[in-house]
Amino acid sequence: MPCTSSWAGNLFLIIGYGYLMYLAATHLSTGSELLLQILGPGIVGGLFLPILGSLPDALLILVSGLSGNPENAQSEVSVGMGLLAGSTVLLLTLIWGSCVIVGKCDLGESRAIDGQNTKGFNLLRSGVSTDIWTCYAARIMAISIFPFLVVQLPQIFKSNSGRHLGVLIALIISVVLLLCYCIYQVLQPSVQRRRMSYAKHKHVMSGILRDLRKRDKGKLMGDDGQPDREVIKRLFSSMDTNGDGYLSAGELKALIIGIQFEEMDLDKDDAVEKVMRDFDISRDGRIEEDEFVNGVTKWLVEARQVGGGSNDPVQTQKYIDYFHRQTKREHELLGEDGDDEGGGIANPRRNSLKAVLFLLLGTIIAAAISDPLVDAVNGFSKATRIPSFFISFIALPFATNSSEAVSAIIFSSRKKITTSSLTFSELYGAATMNNLLCLSVFLGLVYIRGLTWDFSSEVLVILIVCLLMGGFASYRTTFPLWTCFLAYALYPFSLALVYVLDYVFNWS
């Protein structure tokens, strides 16, 4: 590899090696996307690909702590910490804010309107919306900072003897949380499908209850506040079109088709099957009168519980309407079952080989470039007397996270709730992997090589950004345009905070 001691030469090397690292990250991203299209989510999408996404960062951190003797490693490991902190901050500030701007749509009463962008740069009336799973991803990201808190405890209590033990405990916790996160990612697709299926079923429930209420002019409840069984029996008779004393699957399907669920794309046969499963206790393929009465009664009780639990029969219409609105909102928050674009991938065998080659090439380039890139950063730091932390904090994350940034912005530009949800979930997931996988590698190096953990200001920056952005995104699904400026402001704030704490107050 070329050698130089001047700042210009090292800057040239940083740019060159950074571009090669960008190529490595791009190849890893391309191979990962191909493999995901072929094999789908689960073990591949939930476990293998997130780890590959963090591989360039992890390799750079590993190399920064393996160089030379412990004294040299102690000075060079700040490059790894700068990359770790810089990647997390970059994902949650500049890239996050850019995705809000690129993906903005007009905001309706509670959600962004897919594809509609007539408000321009209105700070309050344009923005993006996500599903509830994105909130969960943000909460997991906020939880992932726990090992940082643990490793800082000896620093907080000024215990020099406990620092090594603190690193070990934080390492164990980080690895355990990483395993738990990978298991969650593997199981999430099936959990998501089951919850979406149940949300659709509740939407069918609310639609049928509203239709029954209209047929009986809102008198499904008796004076005692309990479901009126006689009224429900009369409704059964009106639905039993052939008068055989049973409701068949065909009669039930006719009812569901007649309701016209305009708010969602409903699979009528699937809806009939779920209603039959709820009502047909005898499992004979038809619903008897008692089964119908008991089933509607159970639904009314559930709707009343959601609507506040009132026994006032006058409130029947209100709480059924409220139940309908809540189920509709739950369906919106959960998002769609998936984006039907593409419909699979042609020639899976050829593309599987192509994906593996991309992954191998990206891994080889990242492994080969990591060591000289770290050396170039340290050489530039010595030549310019700029702390290596700031160089790695600013420059390296743009190289290792560039493919994720481009992918996120492309997805956001489609201006749909489903693609926005995917975009922000991937950003939170990438930050989580940084906080767990890369931190595990970093803590392992510090513990095994007997290095000193002396990164209080850097940890504080990670905690502030993750808690602010994670807490902000954990309990809301709509982000007006003004939120992008909050995210942008956190980036220079993070750099300034580290500088002030380390070089003004000498805080460690």
- Note the pLDDT tens digit of each residue in 416-457: 888 888 788 888 988 998 899 989 998 998 898 888 888 888
Q: Are residues 314 and 350 in the same domain?
A: no
Q: Are residues 291 and 219 in the same domain?
A: yes
In the predicted model, what is the mean pLDDT of the chain? Answer: 80
For residue 187, being part of any structural domain is answered with: no
For residue 164, being part of any structural domain is answered with: no
Element (H, E) at 127: strand 126-129
The pLDDT assigned to 340 comes to 42
Q: Are residues 318 and 351 in the same domain?
A: no
For residue 190, being part of any structural domain is answered with: no
Of 289, 288, 285, the C-alpha closest to 276 is: 285
Q: Are residues 93 and 208 in the same domain?
A: no
Answer yes or no: are the C-beta atoms of 11 and 373 closer than 8 Å: no
Domain of 116, in residue numbers: 7-131+345-503
Distances in whole angstroms, Cα of residue 383 to Cα of each of 6, 12, 71, 377, 380: 6, 13, 20, 10, 5
Q: Are residues 305 and 361 in the same domain?
A: no
Our separate counts of H helices and E strands in the chain read 21, 5
Q: Are residues 307 and 356 in the same domain?
A: no
Would you tell me how many other CB atoms lie within 10 Å of the CB of residue 70? 12
Comparing 73-87, 189-203, 381-395, the range with the smallest average pLDDT is 189-203
Q: Are residues 276 and 318 in the same domain?
A: yes
For residue 137, being part of any structural domain is answered with: no
For residue 12, being part of any structural domain is answered with: yes
CATH of the domain at 238: 1.10.238.10
Comparing 102-111, 277-286, 301-310, the range with the smallest average pLDDT is 301-310
Query: Which one of 315, 334, 353 terminates a domain?
Result: 334
Q: pLDDT tens digits for 73-118?
A: 777 787 888 888 888 999 999 999 999 999 999 998 778 888 888 8
Query: Which one of 334, 364, 396 terminates a domain?
Result: 334
The pLDDT assigned to 150 comes to 93
For residue 243, being part of any structural domain is answered with: yes
Q: Are residues 319 and 372 in the same domain?
A: no
Helical packing angle, 163-215 and 439-448, nearest 10°: 160
Q: Are residues 229 and 329 in the same domain?
A: yes
For residue 175, being part of any structural domain is answered with: no
Domain count, the chain: 2
Query: Which one of 310, 334, 358 terminates a domain?
Result: 334
Q: Are residues 365 and 474 in the same domain?
A: yes
Answer yes or no: are the C-beta atoms of 133 and 334 closer than 8 Å: yes
Q: Are residues 330 and 208 in the same domain?
A: yes
> Two tokens at 375?
């050396």
| pLDDT band at 175; cut points 50, 70, 90 | very high
Element (H, E) at 137: helix 132-143
Evaluate if residue 337 carries a pLDDT over 80. Answer: no
Q: Are residues 305 and 441 in the same domain?
A: no
For residue 119, being part of any structural domain is answered with: yes
